[in-house]
Every structure is written in structure tokens, then in C-alpha cells.
Amino acid sequence: MFDQLSVGDLVSMASAQPLLAEEEAAGLFRRIRAGDADATEELVLVHLRIAIDEAIRTRGLGCSQRELVRTGVRTLVEAAQLYDPIQHGPFARHARSSVRAAMVRSVRVS
């Protein structure tokens, strides 16, 4: 779903998303572990602003804004699918750390 959207569309979507209550997040993680792709999309959508924030922070270092946002979105999907609350702590912290590291790798490669 996210691959076909422009950066502007992703920014608009991110700004329209409310934060999740703890119970809602727990329900999404259960659905993700059960293989529900829609739950992964929902979680990524709620945390999309992390990818955008990190892309803004990283811009000007050799990758286009579009490529940085795309890297961030792909990393959010991976982070959602691999997330373990016991091992990783709060999802937003885990997601931001994962996205930041992926963007640094992208900048180094380009």
C-alpha cells in the first residue's frame, strides 16, 4: 500500500493519525503475530510520522527525501513484524531506533 504513495500523501496520512491507546496497540501486535497484514499496515500508519521525522533529520546527506521516507516505511513494516515487547521495550522507541539505523545505512551506501 505505502509503496505507491507520494511523500506528500504519506505526510498527510501521518498527520491525520491519532496515537494508539495501550490496549489498541496490544491488539494490533496480537493480530500481527497471527499474520494479519492489515494490522501491520494499521501499526505502520500510526507510526508513519517516525519515518517522516527521521527522513527530515537525515535529508541532505546523499539520499533523496523520497528514498529516505521509503526506507523508513519499509523499516517500520519490518519492525512491526519482528517486534517483541519483552526484548524491545516500547514500540515507538524500537521503531525510531530501527528507522534511524536504516537511514544511516542508506546514506552510507549512496
Which domain CATH number covers 33? 1.20.120.1810
pTM of the model: 0.82
pLDDT tens digits for range 37-82: 999 999 999 999 999 999 988 876 777 888 899 999 999 999 998 8
For residue 57, give its domain range: 2-109
Closest CA to 79 of 65, 98, 55, 52: 98
- Cα separation, 69 vs 7, in Å, equals 7
**Beta-carbon contacts of residue 1 (< 8 Å; ≥ 6 apart):** 41
Number of domains present in the structure of the chain = 1
- Cα separation, 48 vs 16, in Å, equals 10
